[in-house]
Amino acid sequence: MNSDQTVNVMRHLLLESLIIASPLLFSAGIVSLLVSLMQTLTGIQEQTLTTVPRLLVVFVVLFAIAPWIITHSISFTMHLWMGMAQHLG
């Protein structure tokens, strides 16, 4: 496996990790924005108000998209293993 193939595999790996993590990061960002807006409007500055809703939403989203994450990860891994002979040979 030469350096170009290694860089290509790592690029695909980083892209897949970004695709898998993006729904969780997006939902956490939206909740953080909404909670910050609520805190600004009401004047309540409590740290737990920002952490607890974000954790709950990320947990719910993770639970909801877990089958998709597993399917996507298995598909990527199978594609990687099937193409490994091409990279090594």
Calpha distance 54→79 (Å, rounded): 34
pLDDT score for 85: 77
Domain count across the chain: 1
Calpha distance 52→37 (Å, rounded): 16
pLDDT confidence bin for 89, thresholds 50/70/90 = low
- Asked if residue 74 has pLDDT above 90, the reply is yes
pLDDT tens digit sequence for 17-58: 999 999 999 999 999 999 999 988 988 888 888 889 999 999
Rounded to two decimals, the pTM is 0.80
Tokens of 7: 């860089």
**% of the chain at pLDDT higher than 90:** 63
Burial class (CB in 10 A: 0-12, 13-18, 19+), 74: exposed
- Which residues form the domain of 17? 3-88
